[in-house]
Structure 1
Amino acid sequence: MEQTAVLEHFDVEKIRQDFPILTRKVNGKPLVYLDNGATTQKPKQVIDAIVEYYTQLNSNVHRGVHYLSQLATDAFEVTRRKLRPFINAAHEHEIILTKGTTEGINLVASCYGKAYVKAGDEIIISAMEHHSNIVPWQMLCEERGATLRVVPINDAGELDMEAYRAALNDRTKMVAVTYVSNALGTVNPVGEIIRQAHAAGAPVLLDAAQAVQHLPIDVQALDVDFLVFSGHKMYGPTGIGVLYGKEKWLDAMPPYQGGGEMIKDVAFEKTTYNELPFKYEAGTPNIEAGICLAHAVDYLETAGLNRIAQHERELLAYAGGRLLEIPELRIIGTAQEKSSVVSFLLGGIHPYDVGVILDKLGIAVRTGHHCTQPLMERYGIPGTVRASIAMYNTKEDIDALVAGVQKAAEMLA
């Protein structure tokens, strides 16, 4: 399918033309979409690919000898082939297609936990994790009699690296941390986190749900053991995600689910499991989303992740400066290294009330705890208003947000 031409510079107006939803109105106002941390909008290239699948290719994959099944299988496997260089995995079979980040984390917690975690062992996470990178590890610890250890953060929203180093010991069986905080925008020093964990003999899982669409990622350079992310946060469909795992771990761990595709031979006496990556892909996958994720990868690579990162850094700095012009507004999360998220409170006004007024003005933001309740408790707040930036956002979007927050301040004072 035709892709947008490679841009010599980042032309945001050209990018915006590829996203049909950005032309619509909400409550009679032009849509200003700043809830990209929850999900991103989709370019025409991805939307067209969805239509093409259902009108030209619809068939099950990996199992049929007929023409449509072969076409669908080939298109589905193109995605795996494109994802390998996208994150610089060593092998295609290290790319497992999942439902999303949450399933990827649960898969590792379950399968790695069965193989390697026993009573008295420890799992390390951070105080800024999404619930999806807390609860699976809690469940594992309860099941295996292990201990969950939490690395604290400072007031700026940065990890206490001294506390992290002190937490590592010979009982540490996994370090699971977010690459970029969905609630604060903090970019964690993941290279150092991985080096320290490996020195202690522990593998690392990175939650890259809020990173892969904003920053280039090289899993081999990082030497990370597991990395998970979701398609819908990187301009692709919902219901599809990626688990990267080093071959040595994926080979050693037991399967996650039993069923079709993940088997080589089945008898009532014994089943032999399939080779990678199919060992972890039981049942019929989300074929349409799997195929269309390749088009999202193409789109990101065409736009250029380095150009996207620079554009979003400029917008983030602009948003922070403009918002702080508003009396009584305070930003929650002021780490030196941030990406694409500005969370804030407006005096003593509840975030929900600010969000409702912004919605009336056609401005989409997220309010609440952002699935990070322990983090909000750390700051002693019920939640925040979160504006999360994507490649198609503009300074005009930020200006509209600032004007909307000022209006909310006047109305709710």
Structure 2
Amino acid sequence: MNFNLSRALGRTLKPGDEIVTTSLDHEANVSPWRLLAEDRGLVVRQVRLTDELTLDMDDLRSKLNDRTRVVAFYLASNAVGTLTDAPRIAELAHSVGALAWVDAVAFAPHRRMNVERIGADVLLCSPYKLFGPHLGMAWMRPEPAEALPAERVRPAGEQPPGHRFETGTLSHEAIAGFIGAVVYLASLGGGGTALGSARRR
């Protein structure tokens, strides 16, 4: 799914535009940008980590400029479990006009999320991490969802707006499994602290 969405965004980018990733991102939120950069003449910058294996916010600030188009980052590292200050990162991305592109795969099984408070423009997840099937899920703000030129077989103008990123016949059994997993988790209650509700630093 991230390859599909990053390719769609790539059609709007120009040579020299920049993408920021981090040293702890999963390859799923790094490789699509590197391959896109090779094809479109983009620049990919990578944010360092601190000695505590958290994101170096000063290094992030130093890598942002008026050519930055995307800041791709994780909510929770799948390797070491550290969390990011997602609302602050999104705020910094937006301050230079970039999209906040969030990988929530390792975070979603453990805590609730509020995409508005996080400040995400795109948030990606996979239900297989939370008792569901191996399926991709994306949430997008309406503006990029409507504006991105979707990569698909049939021209976007021939599809209902809600189907712009569907590339063919859907896996209805997987979608039913995803819904079942969400219903099950909702029945348990709780869910930990909602990311994005804490006071910003």
TM over 0.5: yes
Q: Which residue of 1 aligns with 2:37?
A: 141
- Counterpart Cα distance in 1 of 2:190 and 2:15: 43
Residue 282 (str. 1) matches residue 167 (str. 2): yes
SS of the residue 2:169 aligns to: coil
- Counterpart Cα distance in 2 of 1:177 and 1:148: 13
1:345-376 Cα offsets, whole Å, 9 max, x none, are: xxxxxxxxxxxxxxxxxxxxxxxxxxxxxxxx
Q: Which residue of 2 aligns with 1:114?
A: 11
1:326-353 Cα offsets, whole Å, 9 max, x none, are: xxxxxxxxxxxxxxxxxxxxxxxxxxxx
Choose 1 or 2 for highest CA Rg.
1
| Residue identity opposite 2:4 in structure 1 | L
- Counterpart Cα distance in 1 of 2:161 and 2:117: 22
| Residue identity opposite 1:257 in structure 2 | R
Any conservation in 2 of the 1:250–1:276 contact (CA below 8 Å)? no
- Counterpart Cα distance in 1 of 2:190 and 2:105: 15
SS of the residue 1:280 aligns to: coil
**Alignment partner of 2:183 out of 290, 298, 309:** 298
Residue 250 (str. 1) matches residue 145 (str. 2): yes
Write out aligned runs for 1:324-335 (5 A).
Answer: none
Q: Which residue of 2 aligns with 1:223?
A: 119
| Residue identity opposite 1:174 in structure 2 | V
- Counterpart Cα distance in 1 of 2:91 and 2:108: 20
- Counterpart Cα distance in 2 of 1:300 and 1:281: 26
For the aligned residue pairs, the C-alpha RMSD in angstroms reads: 1.5
- Counterpart Cα distance in 2 of 1:195 and 1:184: 24
Superposition misfits of 4+ residues, deviation over 4 angstroms: none
Alpha-carbon distance, 1:244 to partner: 0.8
Closer, same or farther: CA 306–285 of 1 in aligned 2, 3 Å? same
Alpha-carbon distance, 1:256 to partner: 2.0
Write out aligned runs for 1:10-409 (5 A).
Answer: 103=1, 105-115=2-12, 117-238=13-134, 240-259=135-154, 272-307=157-192
1:236-264 Cα offsets, whole Å, 9 max, x none, are: 112x22111111111111112214xxx6x
Closer, same or farther: CA 247–275 of 1 in aligned 2, 3 Å? farther
- Counterpart Cα distance in 2 of 1:224 and 1:134: 17
- Counterpart Cα distance in 2 of 1:128 and 1:304: 31
Alpha-carbon distance, 1:305 to partner: 4.4
Alpha-carbon distance, 1:146 to partner: 0.9
Alpha-carbon distance, 1:145 to partner: 0.7
- Gaps (5+ residues) in structure 1? 1-102, 264-270, 310-413
| Larger RCO: 1 or 2 (CA < 8 Å, sep 6+) | 1
Closer, same or farther: CA 185–284 of 1 in aligned 2, 3 Å? same
| Residue identity opposite 1:243 in structure 2 | A
What percentage of aligned pairs have identical amino acids?
Answer: 32
Alpha-carbon distance, 1:217 to partner: 0.6
SS of the residue 2:182 aligns to: helix
- Gaps (5+ residues) in structure 2? 194-201
SS of the residue 1:153 aligns to: coil
SS of the residue 2:11 aligns to: helix
Q: Which structure: greater helix fraction?
A: 1
- Counterpart Cα distance in 1 of 2:191 and 2:127: 19
- Counterpart Cα distance in 1 of 2:127 and 2:44: 29
SS of the residue 1:173 aligns to: strand
- Counterpart Cα distance in 1 of 2:127 and 2:165: 18
Q: Which stretch shifts more, 248-257 or 144-153?
A: 248-257
Any conservation in 2 of the 1:225–1:245 contact (CA below 8 Å)? yes
- Counterpart Cα distance in 2 of 1:151 and 1:272: 38
- Counterpart Cα distance in 2 of 1:305 and 1:276: 35
SS of the residue 1:213 aligns to: coil
Closer, same or farther: CA 148–276 of 1 in aligned 2, 3 Å? same
SS of the residue 1:183 aligns to: coil
Q: Which residue of 1 aligns with 2:197?
A: none
1:296-352 Cα offsets, whole Å, 9 max, x none, are: 111111223435x7xxxxxxxxxxxxxxxxxxxxxxxxxxxxxxxxxxxxxxxxxxx
Alpha-carbon distance, 1:156 to partner: 1.7
- Counterpart Cα distance in 1 of 2:71 and 2:122: 10
